[in-house]
Structure 1
């Protein structure tokens, strides 16, 4: 008797949504709201109808892409992988790179969507939704700050403030540098953050 082959278990709706969003993100970055669900389906290797089993319409896919771009998970994972055996400036340099990539991703997706006319329907623009978005933004920053604080903890005895507070200052500086013309980048930014604006001979 031939043994009957078992079918591989299908994806859950949540897994399928995540797969579709992952396929859609680079297309949204390139085409903005002009991206089509048929393009997304081809990129995901599925039939177009499959998209509408887990999303109500294209607008919901675009909203999900924006939500995914704002998630701090990737940045937190990269920061958590930074070796604490490195000198503090090297740890912070890697963290700054991870945060820069996170901000670039958010900016690319937001710019592509809102620059091409994507807006949430008026019925969704409620005070409650705005408050929920703000709570989500604050929660994301707190998660990132906790990850950055761990980079400072091995040097806590050398810090003027607790690691968590120092991490908050570092994030504020890092998040601002892309919006302030002429603000130091890379190693110069880390140098100024750790040792101030004065030259070494002027600090005595």
Structure 2
């Protein structure tokens, strides 16, 4: 083999391994989301192809257009399967406060990823439109799965609560959302702060000796 042919072969992009269509679609989306957070809609399909390790034409065999790919990324960003799996990985042997703080931290990370993507897409032109319930009937089921994962973390400690665990979880999730929402939060609220407010309220605790 000549030196010329070796040089040519080294320049050829290795062919992507064969994948099932759904797996290929998921892989392209996974490679595109970080680029969207960095560049918004200005990211090119050539950059996406390079990140995904595929030929640019492969993208258009999976998606009709870059806009369709962006919409698929938006839809994927709102999926909760990974979030639920991470919540279920939290050690249930930890004290209740620590379990819930870990769950809040996980939820904050998930929400921050969504809001950062929304912000970049808004700034780069067309705003990001979250899927509505009517467009995605699985969304309500996904939200229920998140609630169930939080309730499972409360577990047997539910008998320490004066409200049903589902209500406590609902309040905690609302407070978690407001703690990271770009238009709602002021300053940084730690997961421990949020859990303390939910479990103990905002009133001062009586000091030893009966002083308030």
Above 0.5 in TM-score?
A: yes
In structure 2, stretches of 5+ residues that fail to align are: 1-16
Partner residue in 2 for 1:24: 32
The 2-side partners of 1:130 and 1:95 are apart by 25
Task: Give the alignment partner of residue 96 of structure 2, picking from 88, 92, 97.
Answer: 88
Deviation of residue 176 (structure 1)? 1.4
Q: How many residues align?
A: 190
The 1-side partners of 2:178 and 2:138 are apart by 20
How far does the alpha carbon of each residue in 1:31-50 deviate from its partner, in whole angstroms, 9 at most, with x for none? Answer: 00000111000001110000
Deviation of residue 138 (structure 1)? 3.4
The 1-side partners of 2:165 and 2:132 are apart by 31
Deviation of residue 12 (structure 1)? 1.7
How far does the alpha carbon of each residue in 1:122-156 deviate from its partner, in whole angstroms, 9 at most, with x for none? Answer: xxx9xxx8452475543332221111111112201
Corresponding residue SS for 1:150: helix
Task: Give the alignment partner of residue 20 of structure 2, picking from 8, 12, 19.
Answer: 12
Indicate if the aligned counterparts of 1:27 and 1:35 stay in contact, CA closer than 8 A.
yes
1:107 aligns with 2:109: no
Indicate if the aligned counterparts of 2:150 and 2:169 stay in contact, CA closer than 8 A.
yes
How far does the alpha carbon of each residue in 1:12-43 deviate from its partner, in whole angstroms, 9 at most, with x for none? Answer: 21111100001111111000000011100000
Corresponding residue SS for 2:163: coil
Partner residue in 1 for 2:205: 200
Task: Give the alignment partner of residue 65 of structure 1, picking from 68, 73, 78.
Answer: 73
Indicate if the aligned counterparts of 1:99 and 1:174 stay in contact, CA closer than 8 A.
yes
The 1-side partners of 2:22 and 2:198 are apart by 41
- Supply the RMSD in Å over aligned alpha carbons: 2.5
How far does the alpha carbon of each residue in 1:145-170 deviate from its partner, in whole angstroms, 9 at most, with x for none? Answer: 11111111220111112222221111
The 2-side partners of 1:164 and 1:183 are apart by 26
Indicate if the aligned counterparts of 1:27 and 1:40 stay in contact, CA closer than 8 A.
yes
Partner residue in 1 for 2:49: 41
Partner residue in 2 for 1:160: 162
Give the 5 Å matches for 1:76-155. 76-118=84-126, 130-133=132-135, 135-155=137-157
Which structure has the highest helix share of the two? Answer: 1
1:172 aligns with 2:171: no
